[in-house]
Structure 1
Amino acid sequence: MEHNNINPADPSRGHDDPRVRDGCVLRHLLTARDRSVFDRNMAMMRALGAGEPVTRVAKRYGVTRQWIHRLRARHGEQGEPGLLPRSRRPRSVHNRTSGEVRALIAQVRERLLAGGWDCGARSIHGVLAERMGRAPSVSTIHRILQDMGLVEAEPRKRPRSSYVRFEAELPNETWQSDFTHWPLADGTDAQIITWLDDHSRMVLLSRATGSVTGELVARTFLECCAEHGTPASTLTDNGGVYTSRLIVGAKGPGAFERILAEHGVRQKNGRPGHPTTQGKIERWHRTLKQWLHARPRARDLAGLQDQLDEFAHAYNRRRHSSLPGISPIEAYHARDKAGPDPQAAATARSECDINRRLRENRHARRSTARRPTVHDPNLNTDPERSTVTRNGTVNYHCLGKSWQLYIGNQYAGIQVETMVIDGNATVIDTGTGEIIHERPFDTNNHYQRKTTNTTTKRRQHINRHAGHM
């Protein structure tokens, strides 16, 4: 940097001054402050001219003796103009940024912008620090960019100081995951799922796919575990592929939740409507899309995956603005890794085994609970009227017992007449006289399941009775 920058010339330092004419100061052109200083200096010079000692004059006007001698020398050389107040602005600023450095800052910003990378003051500072060793501060770079008109004002953006920062203490202590959308060259919508280490911001995996499912989330998580070890916890949003706790009617935990329980990994989810909780992965998406936008769109998922691999490799090895001058991969390998709770993993696996055995036992009981079918072809019973329930069953009483015949919930609410004729359970719609169900009557099971579809017959109720009298 240059240290010989000279300030603009001061009119009181030997240059033409409109306040001075023919060696005399024009007091009416002076400001009130300058006039007060000039009059005080003139009074001190008159006191010295009258033979008053320097020490007494300095004490009276509250200045040093050295200043009295300096002022008298200036008055002797320049006359009245030498008594005018002078600017306190320094002749040179030793740490002023040189034109070469300012031009370099603009050049680095242009190169970062063309490459699709962040081109703010922090990113430029990291590049200059690698190139120069000692770079201007971030605030200086930001001020230079403002002077050049290269800073886009974002008045609606929350200030950085308003956010509550949190960061995992160790690598693998928390992994963040989310997915985003990106179009292919033909307009097809692709999705990108990413796993990110919270402590180091290192990208563990970034995968292009046509659709993100719970099985894909579980599979990519296991791939990361195989390569980087199992984390102590995960942090995601409340998407259905990550958690089923907000899904109405969900039948237990999803595939990803079961895997986390089996490995003893604690699952953490941000509050709905608060994406800043997963701020690191959200900021990664912005950086990724900015980089992809600077390149031609991929023709297929394989081409998009190649771009993701290239970007993740470069991202993990460049300085990160939130890290102390190091890259994400350096931060990830700088400390020991955290891991899951082995006791919690053993307990979860035990619970999974118990639940699996209970499900198997229930299934075995269901398969053997139904008694063998008994059909009496000579059985005939009296008709009974009832209403089909909303579950599609008909309640029928005969042989001193209560029976349930399932005919289908499409008949729910209609009035029917039920009877057994020649061993066949027959259900007739009393409104139309139509036989809506007919099947062999099982005298060994109280619940008659609909196993086969019977042919619908259009017969009148009176004719049906006449044939069996």
Structure 2
Amino acid sequence: MPWKERSVVEERMRFVLRLKDGESMASLCREFGISRVTGYKIYERYKECGLEGLTDRARTPYRYANKLPVQLEAMIVTLRREKPTWGARKLRERLLRKLPNDVRVPACSTIHAIMDRHGLVTRQRRSRTTTEGTPLSAGLAPNALWCTDYKGEFMLGDKRYCYPLTVSDHASRYLLLCEAMESIKEQGAFTAFERLFKERGLPQAIRSDNGVPFASPNGLFNLSRLAVWWLRLGVTIERIQPGHPQQNGRHERMHRTLKIEATRPAGSNFLQQQAKFDAFVHEFNNERPHEALDMKYPADVYIPSTRPYRGIGELSYPFHDRTALVTCCGRICIYKKKINLSTSLAGQAVGIKEVDDGIWLVSFMDYDLGYNDLEEKTLQPLNNPFGPKV
């Protein structure tokens, strides 16, 4: 018979109490009119959360379609703690034998990632911080932090839209770049930033919002090709939280001034509009005093970076088993198995290392990206190593 009207929670409590008294799961599930999957879920929720676990939970969908139920994740963690010397493959085999046939047991790489997330995997210490995410830096010195954004598009006299790409130095307020662009496509941004790096050197970090081309909503850890290039150059990427433009407040205030003084009225064409931008940049840097700078001009404070732009060199992974090149489709090959990674990393070399029987750790530069086993074609990502996933 199905749950009685008295109370769903009370029925779940009766179910759990009788199970703890030694009655079999199968007979209880038949009596209460539920499947064994439901019975196991109820019992795992009770073991994980006590009586609170027997109350109804919100039915909000998981953000990721392949995210495991917390009950199954808790079971994996419990098994690992009971068997600390067992790897993911042995734990998966135990789950296959312990759970009903209609329960989908996760892949080995997923199990390994769960163990790693709960601190149950001994990993070789690296020289980088392992904390998920980094706070936005203060940027107290010139070139410690650059800020970039596209000011909102506007129409020129010839009916074409202009997308101004702007870059400023956080500490000195110096406006490094204000270029009239025809679109926000990443190739134009690559060209503009390369020219800027050659002229001014490299900053320590660049702060942006989460829009293209600075980030990619579908990329691994939201990485775009532009962000990957910055990382290869040794530039840290910072992203503000969605809906928090005040985290890039100095740059946004400059945009308001730019809009008033250089876009009203708009130029007749791109050539005229760029001339208006150039005049604004000169005045902003050399003739406009800033209260925050004790009424100095930005040009009085800013100095070029001491880190020259020399392009990118080759990547090597001396502590990994081998190096793999990411294809233009965003894949790598491990023993003739094609593993989906990210097109944002196309053309980049990644390091792969076997950390357990058939479990491979994939790294990019000094950042560990995630785990993969040869049964799967996708990477099981770790926590975002590049900062908050926003």
Q: Greater Rg, structure 1 or structure 2?
A: 1
TM class, shorter-length: 0.3 to 0.5
Q: TM-score, normalising length from structure 1?
A: 0.37
Structure with more contact order per residue of length (Cα contacts < 8 Å, sep ≥ 6): 2
